Amino acid sequence: MKRVFPIFSILTALLLVYAFYEAIWVAPRERTMGDVQRIFYYHVPSAWTAFLLFFINFVASLQYLVSAKPSTKRAANGILIAIGLVGAIAPFIPMVKQQLPSGMYPSSVATTVLAIVGLYFLIGKWFSGQALDILAVTTAEVGVVFCTVVLVTGPIWARPVWGIWWTWDIRLTTTLVLWLIYVSYLVLRRFSDSSQTPKLAAVLAIFGALDVPLVYFSIWFFRTQHPQPVIGGGGSIDPRMLHVLLINWLAFSCFAFLVCWSRYRLENLRREVEEAEAMASLHGVTQ
């Protein structure tokens, strides 16, 4: 494990350099927006990464809460399996199929649902107890950083293209509220120093996850200004641009994974030290 880390760091650094080169020199110049469009190669991958991290945080928090008791764990597993089955079959039923918005294929919906359920079980298998909480801290912190990048690069792009820094559009507002929720999550963790912080933080993460769809619908009612998602949303994109975007996404995902990894190790060590200190003071061998 110790040897993998530096190798992975070097690979990530190389990948980031290559992705930067691709984004700045190789990708074609956008016809109407010009060079400012290149910020898109940072904005979109950061957004995807932030949302993925927040989602992992939610799954880890959920796992942490339900695994406190074997009965709730069994119930949650049952519910998740049911969701997976319904999500995998329902999109192919003709009645449901007609309800899907254009550009959304039944197979992609089914795959997404199965991937979410799979992620839930994988995280439950690989992490348990304290490790789930450490995973939740890590993903929340790194997610807030990436979300901040999204919220900063967005207005820089919007100013020359839309003529305004900010608008209360559906995606912008949802991202901002998500950011606010996770900042309050981190504040809660910082301010509560009891041993029950993990439980309280996990509860807040569940509330945040319930809130996001409601925020989305409340703003969906207004007209939306943000460009349609370029993938799966009916928008079109030059294949060369898509290629650069995907490379950047890969590079940023690796980078996020690397940061999460080291933060995870740090938090793990911090807790070990804390525990050792507590044990030492119990035994009366404090320096």
The angle subtended at Cα 234 by Cα 96 and Cα 98, nearest 5°, is 15
List contacts with another protein (CB under 8 A).
Answer: 65, 68, 177, 180-181, 183-184, 187-188, 191-194, 196-197, 199-200, 203-204, 206-208, 210-211, 214-215, 217-219, 221
What minimum distance in Å lies between the beta carbon of 192 and another protein? Answer: 4
Q: Which is nearer to another protein, 205 or 245 (CB)?
A: 205
Q: Which is nearer to another protein, 179 or 255 (CB)?
A: 179
What minimum distance in Å lies between the beta carbon of 251 and another protein? Answer: 31
Smallest Cα–Cα separation from 160: which of 32, 20, 47, 41? 32
Backbone phi, then psi, for 34, in 5-degree steps? 80, -155
Q: Which is nearer to another protein, 219 or 244 (CB)?
A: 219
Helix pair angle (106-126, 40-66), 10° resolution: 60
SS3 272: helix
Q: Which is nearer to another protein, 169 or 211 (CB)?
A: 211
* Contact between 128 and 70 (Cβ < 8 Å): no
Smallest Cα–Cα separation from 128: which of 179, 33, 54, 60? 60
Q: How far, in Å, CA of 246 to CA of 41, rounded? A: 9
Q: How far, in Å, CA of 85 to CA of 200, rounded? A: 31
* Contact between 151 and 179 (Cβ < 8 Å): yes
Backbone phi, then psi, for 30, in 5-degree steps? -70, 140
Q: Which is nearer to another protein, 161 or 212 (CB)?
A: 212
What minimum distance in Å lies between the beta carbon of 200 and another protein? Answer: 5
What minimum distance in Å lies between the beta carbon of 287 and another protein? Answer: 28
What minimum distance in Å lies between the beta carbon of 244 and another protein? Answer: 35
What minimum distance in Å lies between the beta carbon of 283 and another protein? Answer: 26
Q: Which is nearer to another protein, 91 or 208 (CB)?
A: 208
